[in-house]
Amino acid sequence: MAISKASNFTIIDRDISWLDFNYRVMQEAKDPNVPLLERLRFLAIYSSNLGEFFRIRVAHHRNIMLLGKKTKSVLDYNPAIFLKELYKKANEHLDEFNQIFYDEIIPGLASENIYLRSHRELTQPQEKFIENYFNENLLPFVQPVLLVKDKIKPFLNNSELYLAIILKSKEHHTEEEHYAIVKVPSDHLNRFVILPSEKGAHEITLLDEVVRFSLKWLFPGFDIIHSYSIKLTRDAELYIEDEYTGDLLEKIKKGLIKRNIGPASRLVYDDAMPKDMLHYFLSLLEIKKTDLTPEGRYHNNFDFFYFPHFGKYHLLNPVIKPLGYPIIDNAEEIFGALENKDHLLYFPYHDYEPVIRFFEDASQDPFVTHIRITQYRVDKNSRIMDALIYAAERGKSVFVFIEVKARFDEAANLVWGEKMEKAGIKVRYSFPGLKVHAKAGLITRRKDQETKHYAYMSTGNFHEGTARVYGDYGFFTTDSRLTSEIYRLFGFLENVKLPNSSFKHLLVGQFNLNDDLKSLILFEKSEALAGRKSEIILKMNNLQDTEIINLLYDAGKAGTKIKLIIRGICCLVPGKRGLSENISGISIIDRYLEHARVYYFYHGGEKKIYLSSADFMVRNLHFRIETAFPIYSETLKNEIIKVLQIQLTDNTKSRSLNFRKVNHYVQTIRSKRVRSQMSTYKFYKQLYQLQNTQENGK
């Protein structure tokens, strides 16, 4: 159900929970202990998240509402009422967003001699600078349009900035007002323009203000009365999730072309805009009042992520150098280093270089015959992808499964796919009706008449850029129990043939993932009913699948102690009397994005641990190829458990998911402050110091 109508609700709506998550992002912008420019960046991330939410989730509910009577018989909620609830909650958050920006961030910047100037605050030298900037840079890109009702209807590009202008004719000497529109070309020019300033000061203006100042040159026959920024958000859904026939690749390419001309789902506007002008644009753009989002003077605030720092590094997070992984770093030949035991890295605490080296060395190693990998999201300048191309050019057999349905990365994935195909790589694109979300690579090496497989699996993408900020596990293994099953998985991805035997060690979406997870939860329930110790710890991005949630409720009622670390959506209701007293939940938001998925089951003392690409969402458990891989090494198990314990004791960046205290900072009676991300880095640093000491002692 979309909105809980009774006090005995057992499921929190996913979209309401998502807005709560995004509010946690904004809480970081509120935190005075966060460096000032990092606070600004959290506002930028909040803004970007919200834009995507409107393009995807709000558009989804709008489209259901537009179907009208066709859906009433099958829906358990009223989409029109629910949309009002979403807008109300989002707009409340945006009011707080504006308060943080104008009352805290702007004065904070001023205290550092950084000043954000409007077009009305420019000095004469700055005005001359802007005039030159207009002629040399801006003029080719602005698109001024004088609006004539019922005759001129402009098309506003998705999520791009425009100024809506009120002006009067100089020639006709009349009080009649006219409206016009001008694009702010931030897709071509830097959003931030640094102004000439007095010594010691740093003055900056937004491109929006440069356009405002330039309006007198764009409309020479008019007096400019006022201008207000607007932005139109268009439906970004490609509607390909349930396509089972036809050429899927061509459908995606066509969908990408249509994406930016999709139906409007939201108009973001300056809340100072007069009502009659707002009504005019509602009619002009065919937007309903329910699709309005008032903001402040500026939109597209994700651009503030790139706000210049002027060398004031104290306004940024201190640089934390990723730790090396000595066993691999010091090895002359990586494959020899991987043969003796399993290896686990935790990014961004560890450097990502061993993963890159894994593929670069494979591309050059004369004994490597085959390289196989899944691609979901990769870096624009990916060394891993370059290594695959180099390997193919050297005659090695390379297979890449590219998931082109990776939202907002479809175009980039298609570009990489075409580039790799030209190099001779065998590329397969997507399955109709399914997404391949598994993160796996497999290298086959034949030496001295012996063939050996080397596998790498991860909770995150093969993306060098995000590995610097996403908290993800990366796992190397030559354990034949696992490599043989990864080999079978790639056989399925490459040839679309079912494996000859079932998966016994890996949990694989569409095969055994969902059923085996249920069995693991039911086992803990049975242990609790028998009076034995029973414990589950789940760390993931999102928990939404109702069937799994109900199993967790049942296990908790039986006595299983369940601890949740959920970054984003949590539809389960922790800590509710009669339902989930034995279930606690927290969310950690800090400088790194918590992205790892970890499943821990006490399992009669065996302590089964899986690392995975899958959240507990319907889409992951039912409509994707996912992998969850077991950790068999007791040393690595203890390492993962230690990190989980650190996160569960966080009393600095941890927020409660208890339904009565959602987003309240977790406070404990402990005198020692625990910030889990910093404590995790310290843990690994000390671990390697200890290992080095022991090694030198030998």
Instruction: Tell me which residue range forms the domain holding 234.
Output: 14-315
Tens digit of each residue's pLDDT (9 = 90 or more) over 266-285: 888 998 999 999 999 988 88
* Strand arrangement, sheet containing 222-234: 145-146, 177-184, 161-169, 222-234, 264-270, 292-295
* Sign of the alpha-carbon torsion through 415, 302, 292, 228: negative
**609: nearest Cα among 511, 529, 512, 535:** 535
More confident: 669 or 334: 334
Residues 558-570, mean pLDDT to the nearest whole number: 98
Tens digit of each residue's pLDDT (9 = 90 or more) over 317-342: 999 999 999 999 999 899 999 998 99
Q: Is 621 left (phi over 0), alpha (psi -120 to 50) or beta?
A: alpha
Structural domain ending residue among the three candidates 433, 467, 501: 501
Q: Same domain, yes or no, for 276 and 396?
A: no
Contacts of 683 (CB under 8 A, 6+ apart): 642, 643, 646
Q: Same domain, yes or no, for 330 and 310?
A: no
Residues 481-485, mean pLDDT to the nearest whole number: 97
544-560 b/e with 16+ CB inside 10 Å = b? Answer: bbeebbebbbebbbbbb
Annotated catalytic residue: which of 437, 453, 463, 595? 437
Q: Same domain, yes or no, for 306 and 331?
A: no
CATH of residue 57: 3.30.1840.10
What mean pLDDT is reported for the chain? 89
Tens digit of each residue's pLDDT (9 = 90 or more) over 670-685: 678 999 999 999 999 9
pLDDT at position 628 over 90: yes
Q: Same domain, yes or no, for 642 and 530?
A: yes
Q: Same domain, yes or no, for 118 and 254?
A: yes
Q: Same domain, yes or no, for 598 and 482?
A: no
Domain membership flag for residue 4:
no
Whether residue 536 contacts residue 563, with contact meaning beta carbons closer than 8 Å, is answered with yes
Q: Radius of gyration over alpha carbons of the chain, in Å?
A: 28
Q: Same domain, yes or no, for 569 and 649?
A: yes
Domain membership flag for residue 418:
yes
Tens digit of each residue's pLDDT (9 = 90 or more) over 60-106: 887 777 776 655 556 677 888 898 899 899 989 999 999 999 999 99
Whether residue 181 contacts residue 162, with contact meaning beta carbons closer than 8 Å, is answered with yes
Structural domain ending residue among the three candidates 456, 479, 501: 501
Tens digit of each residue's pLDDT (9 = 90 or more) over 49-61: 998 898 788 878 8
Crossing angle of helices 676-697 and 634-648, in 10° steps, is 150
Domain membership flag for residue 9:
no
Q: Same domain, yes or no, for 557 and 586?
A: yes
Q: Specify the range with the lowest mean pLDDT, choosing from 198-207, 400-409, 487-496.
A: 400-409
Structural domain ending residue among the three candidates 292, 315, 338: 315
Beta bridge partners of 494: none
Look up 453 and say whether it is catalytic. no
Three-class secondary structure assignment of 574-610 = CCCCCCCCCEEEEEECCCCEECCEEEEECHHHCCEEE
Whether residue 647 contacts residue 565, with contact meaning beta carbons closer than 8 Å, is answered with yes
CATH of residue 339: 3.30.870.10
Domain membership flag for residue 162:
yes
**Count of alpha carbons within 13 angstroms of residue 28, beta-carbon side:** 25
Distance (Å, rounded) from C-alpha 68 to C-alpha 85?
A: 19
Q: Same domain, yes or no, for 404 and 442?
A: yes
* Strand arrangement, sheet containing 192-194: 114-117, 202-206, 192-194
Please report the pLDDT score of residue 245 as a whole number: 43
Distance (Å, rounded) from C-alpha 347 to C-alpha 475?
A: 11
Percent of the chain scored above 70 by pLDDT? 91
Exposed/middle/buried for residue 688 (C-beta within 10 Å: 0-12, 13-18, 19+): middle
Three-class secondary structure assignment of 261-324 = CCCEEEEEEECCCCHHHHHHHHHHHCCCHHHEEEECCCCCHHHHHHCCCCCCHHHCCCCCCCEC
Please report the pLDDT score of residue 672 as a whole number: 87
Name the domain count of the chain.
3
Q: Same domain, yes or no, for 476 and 516?
A: no
Please report the pLDDT score of residue 429 as a whole number: 87
